Amino acid sequence: MDKEKKILYSGMQATNTLTLGNYLGALKNWVKMHEEYECFFGVMDLHSLTVRQEPAEFRKNARSLYALYVAAGLDPEQNCVYYQSHVPTHAQLAWILNCFTYMGELSRMTQFKDKSQKHADNVNAGLFTYPVLMAADILLYQADVVPVGADQKQHLEICRDIAERFNAIYGDVFTIPEPYMGNTGARIMSLQDPDKKMSKSDENPNAAVMLLDDRDTIIRKFKRAVTDSDTAVRYDEEAKPGVSNLMTIYSCVTGKTMADIESEFAGKGYGDFKMAVGEAVADEMAPIQSRYKELMDDKTYIDGRIKENDEKAYYFSNKTLRKVHKKVGLTELIK
């Protein structure tokens, strides 16, 4: 581990496949982070259990997510890319941190309120204590920075509160993580409702572009994207949210500025614009999908990288857990 580099931690849940929003909002921007940071990226399968999963499908999705990480450019030999559930320190530290987290703090989490409404028949304790497991994920690796979207800021704040509370009692055990302030990626909205974030759980199949959608499907979804009754391709989030979202996507995959895009489509209709966005996205996805297929067919390579990185994650996280055990007075394991 490079002691001169700060540590960065992030991960995604192992449910369904990733959307274009996951890719442009996070994954695409993670790829070059290893140059500046020591990076840990988790396949967050324990978090996924707050919603009932079909076991065989769940295992397939977790492996698919790992392969997509690598296919998108996260080199598992330069980054620690691992399975959360393979590293028992996550659950062990989460229990201890539960004992330093207050019910009132957890009940204020907006994501808990939102998910409780969506899954009213399964409002489980794991959903309530989800932010504590997330805090354990981050604090185990002494992460200096965590890339967070707007919907995760509250979780990082409670993580910092828990760490500061623990440190106030036992000394400087945990690094207090800061939000990553670099290029955190764009916030990509639904193609059918640009007031909502693009989501892999959206009931409307045309609302989200999936990373594994074929070329024709990608282009068709963009053709059906909601715009407005105007005809000008102009960036204005308030007056033209649908068009602005498409411009953001086009900018992310082509590197063009909003002024460039407005100039490119001056005097052209939305039909030409939507087709161009769809083709640009399909072109960006093609090499990722090709690499993904190779990886899913190469069981030996993927299994080897998972085993290697699981062991690395356990080694570093266990150093923190042993320190925590000693501080709180737990008896040391006799070997």
pLDDT at 2 over 60: no
pLDDT at 306 over 60: yes
Which of 73, 52, 61 shows the shortest CA–CA distance to 13? 61
The pLDDT, as a whole number, for residue 108 is 85
**What token pair was written down for 179?**
């939000």
pLDDT at 113 over 80: no
What are 68-109's pLDDT values in tens digits? 999 999 999 999 999 999 999 999 999 999 999 999 898 888
- Strand, helix or coil for residue 233: coil
Q: How far apart are CA 250 and CA 191, in angstroms?
A: 13
Q: How far apart are CA 185 and CA 203, in angstroms?
A: 25
- Strand, helix or coil for residue 45: coil
Block residue for tokens 């207050």: 102
Residue 159's pLDDT band (boundaries 50, 70, 90)?
A: very high
Q: How far apart are CA 45 and CA 151, in angstroms?
A: 19
Residue type, 206: N
Q: Which of 31-40, 109-118, 272-281 has the lowest mean pLDDT?
A: 109-118
Task: Provide CB contacts within 8 A for 107, sequence distance 6+.
Answer: 128
The pLDDT, as a whole number, for residue 148 is 82
What is the homologous superfamily of the domain 215-294 according to CATH? Tyrosyl-Transfer RNA Synthetase (1.10.240.10)
| Secondary structure element (H or E) that encloses residue 179, with its range | strand 178-179
Q: How far apart are CA 234 and CA 268, in angstroms?
A: 11
Average pLDDT rounded to a whole number, residues 235-251: 95
Residue type, 1: M
Task: Provide CB contacts within 8 A for 28, sequence distance 6+.
Answer: 72, 73, 185, 252
Q: Which of 4-18, 100-114, 295-309 has the lowest mean pLDDT?
A: 100-114
**What token pair was written down for 137?**
């994920």
- Bridge partners, residue 37, by sequence: 6
The pLDDT, as a whole number, for residue 121 is 77
Are 90 and 84 contacting, i.e. CB atoms less than 8 angstroms apart? Answer: yes
What proportion of the chain, given as a percentage, has pLDDT over 90?
77
The pLDDT, as a whole number, for residue 150 is 67
Task: For the chain, give every domain's residue range.
Answer: 6-181+299-328, 215-294
- Bridge partners, residue 39, by sequence: 8
DSSP 236: B
Q: Can you state the angle between helices 299-328 and 89-98, rounded to 10 degrees?
A: 30
Residue 45's pLDDT band (boundaries 50, 70, 90)?
A: very high
pLDDT at 184 over 80: no
DSSP 265: T
| Secondary structure element (H or E) that encloses residue 6, with its range | strand 6-13
The pLDDT, as a whole number, for residue 183 is 67
pLDDT at 294 over 90: yes
Mean pLDDT score across all residues of the chain: 92
**What token pair was written down for 160?**
């910092």
Q: How far apart are CA 167 and CA 156, in angstroms?
A: 16
Cα dihedral sign for 178, 181, 185, 191?
Answer: positive
Q: Which CATH architecture has domain 6-181+299-328?
A: 3-Layer(aba) Sandwich (3.40)
Residue 1's pLDDT band (boundaries 50, 70, 90)?
A: low
What are 192-233's pLDDT values in tens digits? 999 999 988 888 999 999 999 999 999 999 999 999 998 899
Cα dihedral sign for 18, 134, 103, 158?
Answer: negative
Catalytic residues: 115, 197, 200
- Bridge partners, residue 9, by sequence: 40
